[in-house]
Amino acid sequence: MKPLHLLPPAAALIASGLWLGLQQQSISTLEKETVLLRQHVDAAKQASGDDHSSLASARANGKKGKDPEIIDWKDLANSMAKAERGGMPDMRAMMKLQTKLMSLSGAELTAALDEIAALELSNDARNSLENMLINLLAEKDPKLVLDRYLGKMTENRNGFSGWQIAHAFQKWTGKDSAAAVAWLDGQIAAGKFDSKSLDGKSQSRLQFEGAAISSLLGSDPDAASRRLAALPEDQRRELFEQGMFINFKPGTEKNLAALIREQVPEKEQAKALANSTGMLIHQGGYEKVGKFLYEIEATPEERAEIVKKASSNQLQQLAQQGKVDREAVDKMREWAAQESSPESVDTITGESLGNLWNRQAKWEDSAKLVSELYAEKPSDDLLISFLSGHQASENSNRETSMALAAKISDETKRAEVIARIEGREVRTTVISE
């Protein structure tokens, strides 16, 4: 897909909504994109009204709907494939199509999905189209998505993302939590989430449980606690490790913290809290995270983990826009020093820069920033944490990594870092007296 930062702002917005189904997405990315979708859906409703007839009935009667143009799904699939290969699509046509898709009702989207199912398409093309429309349908009628596609998710059919279907469930919990949770319990009782794996774990059920528990945090925190306690301990741990509570509602911060402190082993509580706050930086930046720390009366250990996670998330977000520069790094360091401790800032900085994974973030640019910071204030922690990232040992980066490693003042740690970069182990000789 054409990197969105290379497109004009309006075109990038269109592309981010239109090609939702092209890639498997994390909850964080999906949440940001669906906010944009929701805004467009509302705008389309105001512009066109709600008296949409379904595509199927309009065509059965030999009539055209409000839009005289019929979407050519095969052509759209080809356009999406072209974008995936890096080709530049017709942005005017994309914008027109975006408006059209946003104006479709739930019934029309369902009819469109039926049409796509009947077409002769490759699996990849079909999945891309279906996933794109499912995201749109989840905004209008999440229960319809669940009724239609739950089976495909729980049966692990190719092309269907469990996160995507679970997101539709989460949308439903936001509209009617009691009905959604009751529906989930009915599906569990009917065996729809029974696991076929040897360990008895159902990944799809965990995704739904995360959404159900999140919704209960506001309305019935005791029920949320009982629901979490009913899961095996290893599955409870996985819920927090994978950040399945990142979309908790405003006002439930204290309940979330209480749930974690009650249900998670003490040594794992700080990380569990950090993993659950992944969306905060996207929703309101450092200020939002600071308010969360205040609301939950975070301990020093909890602060350290949450600040480290937020700092990394902020640089990742900026990397998508090509905006990881010295100003951004200095702002992050200043905030981390205020909210955590000055002693941890260099480690947080090194880890955050060393683990940037976005395609728009070049490792050599991060290395230059680290070198600049080190020149101003030498710090082994900064170098060691930066060189701990997996990119430091890649062949193209090894020369720069070795030059940075040579500056580490601690001889033992320097040897360990160099060995890791070279892909070998350090043998420690123990001399007995």
Residues of the chain with pLDDT under 50: 1-68, 158-159, 429-433
Structure tokens at 124: 């990849």
**Are 63 and 16 within one domain?**
yes
**Are the CB atoms for 215 and 177 separated by under 8 Å?**
yes
Secondary-structure breakdown of the chain: helix, strand, coil percentages, each rounded to the nearest 5: 70, 0, 30
- Give the angle 80-83-89 at the CA atoms, nearest 5°: 95
**Are 48 and 106 within one domain?**
yes
**Are 133 and 237 within one domain?**
no
In a domain, 153, yes or no: no
Q: How far apart are CA 210 and CA 207, in angstroms?
A: 5
In a domain, 346, yes or no: no
**Are 268 and 189 within one domain?**
yes
In a domain, 54, yes or no: yes
**pTM of the shown model:** 0.72
In a domain, 247, yes or no: yes
**Are the CB atoms for 212 and 181 separated by under 8 Å?**
yes
What pLDDT, in 10s, does the model give residues 374-401? 999 999 999 999 999 989 999 999 999 9
Predicted local confidence at residue 160, as pLDDT: 52
State whether residue 277 is helix, strand or coil: coil
Predicted local confidence at residue 287, as pLDDT: 95
**Are 126 and 94 within one domain?**
yes
CA distance between the termini of the chain: 63
Predicted local confidence at residue 282, as pLDDT: 87
**Are 30 and 97 within one domain?**
yes
Predicted local confidence at residue 232, as pLDDT: 86
Q: How far apart are CA 207 and CA 223, in angstroms?
A: 18
- If you compute the radius of gyration of the chain from its CA atoms, what whole number of angstroms results? 25
- Single residue among 276, 307, 339 that ends a domain in this structure: 276
Give, as one character, the DSSP assignment of residue 243: T
**Are 98 and 14 within one domain?**
yes
**Are 85 and 169 within one domain?**
no
Spatial CA neighbour of 144 closest among 112, 175, 116, 107? 107
SS (H, E, C) 173-222: HHHCHHHHHHHHHHHHHCCCCCCCCCCCCCHHHHHHHHHHHHHHHHHCHH
CA atoms within 13 A on the CB side of 125: 17
Spatial CA neighbour of 234 closest among 262, 258, 200, 207? 200
Range(s) of the domain holding residue 186: 160-276
Predicted local confidence at residue 43, as pLDDT: 45
**Are 15 and 111 within one domain?**
yes
Q: How far apart are CA 285 and CA 339, in angstroms?
A: 13
Whose tokens are 């009913």? That residue is 230
In a domain, 389, yes or no: no
In a domain, 326, yes or no: no
**Are 116 and 196 within one domain?**
no
Predicted local confidence at residue 396, as pLDDT: 92
Predicted local confidence at residue 77, as pLDDT: 79
In a domain, 363, yes or no: no
**Are 76 and 118 within one domain?**
yes
User: What's the Cα-to-Cα distance from 245 to each of 145, 209, 297, 303, 322, rounded to whole Å?
Assistant: 21, 10, 19, 18, 28
Phi/psi at 427 (5° precision): -90, 120
In a domain, 169, yes or no: yes
**Are the CB atoms for 187 and 150 separated by under 8 Å?**
yes
68: how many CB neighbours lie within 10 A of its CB? 6
Domain count, the chain: 2
- Single residue among 108, 140, 172 that ends a domain in this structure: 140
- Single residue among 231, 257, 276 that ends a domain in this structure: 276
- Give me the count of residues in the chain: 433
Predicted local confidence at residue 39, as pLDDT: 46
- Residues 34-41: contacts with CB within 8 Å, 24+ apart? 34/135, 34/138, 34/139, 34/167, 37/102, 37/135, 37/136, 37/139, 38/139, 40/98, 40/102, 41/102, 41/136, 41/139, 41/140
Predicted local confidence at residue 87, as pLDDT: 61
**Are 5 and 131 within one domain?**
yes
Predicted local confidence at residue 85, as pLDDT: 65
